[in-house]
Amino acid sequence: DKVNTFIFDCDGVIWRGDSVIEQVPEVLDYLRSQGKRMFFVTNNSTKSRKGYLGKFTGLGLNVKAEEIFSSSFAAAAYLEEINFKATGKKVYVIGEVGIQEELDLLDIPHTGGPSDK
């Protein structure tokens, strides 16, 4: 009862590859039934929050997009926080589509990405 919020890493804690780790659904359901808050973090930028939401859903896990914090989301949120758009410049993305999707959600101009090889 002393802990109200849980932060879970995703890869190796919630899932391994494309398989949910044993007992994870039951643990998450129990924590929710107890009114606990949960957040899911990953340093993998290949997917946006929407992409990760699809992965959670595909694994049968009931998670909200607002509970997912990826490095792609963190980078876009930071650029929004410092008002990067006002500079009139573009971000050069060296990475995967997840970064581009998060930048697009905030209308942050960018170039590069996975197609720029």
- Residues with catalytic roles: 9, 11
Cα separation, 101 vs 30, whole angstroms? 32
Residue 75 main-chain phi, psi, to 5 deg: -65, -45
Find the angle CA(84)-CA(87)-CA(92) to the nearest 5 degrees.
65
Handedness of CA 94, 97, 103, 104 (dihedral sign): positive
In this structure, which amino acid lies at residue 13? V
Cα–Cα distances in angstroms (integers) from residue 19 to residues 14, 15, 31, 36, 57, in the given order: 9, 5, 21, 24, 12
